[in-house]
Structure 1
């Protein structure tokens, strides 16, 4: 049989081991809880990355729209300044012909044979 002091020593050692392991678990849980907002929280890394992707997509869209707007603005300025741009637009879009002109339409041979037209 063991002596009382030996049993006391083993109990003390057990309690010390339990405390150190408990402290380790408490610290591990604390680290995990502190990491959660960094990765998954309101201003977390994943949301910041998602927001950056949305910003990149919007910037690309804005750039395309700026190019389109610049071309429309140039076309508007052409239409405001001279009659040539208006005539060109009427000829291309509406098929208009001036009074002293002839309109000749050339149809490719392939479309005539197949019965298809370019319209």
Structure 2
């Protein structure tokens, strides 16, 4: 009976040691959670920057077409290789 009690006590000590000092210790878990929060914030900032960059690229692509269309209709712009024909 005494042997079983000693064995259980050693098992309990081993479990406690793993909980406080092991690879999955409470301190390590807290550290990993902090790192996870920091990485999630960095990912969110990167997503926002990517969204802004995509919107800017879209505006540049579509914006030039819109500027060219207005220049053609309002200012009569003609490209060097084009022939302008006006129909009434």
Q: TM-score if structure 2 supplies the norm length? A: 0.58
* Structure 2 alignment gaps of length 5 or more: 78-87
Residue 64 of structure 1 pairs with residue 69 of structure 2:
yes
* Structure 1 alignment gaps of length 5 or more: 72-91, 93-119
Mapping for residues 31-110 of structure 1, pairs under 5 Å? 31-40=39-48, 44-68=49-73, 69-70=75-76
Q: What root-mean-square deviation, in Å, do the aligned CA atoms of Structure 1 and Structure 2 show? A: 2.3
After TM superposition, give the deviation of residue 59 of structure 1 in Å. Answer: 0.7
After TM superposition, give the deviation of residue 38 of structure 1 in Å. Answer: 1.1
Using CA pairs under 8 Å that are at least 6 residues apart, name the structure with larger relative contact order, 1 or 2.
2
Give the total of aligned pairs. Answer: 68
Give CA-to-partner distance per residue, 1:37-81, whole Å, 9 cap, x none: 1112xxx1101211221222221111112223126xxxxxxxxxx
State the partner residue of 2:37. 29
What CA distance in whole angstroms lies between the structure 2 residues aligned with 1:67 and 1:30? 51
What CA distance in whole angstroms lies between the structure 1 residues aligned with 2:46 and 2:32? 22
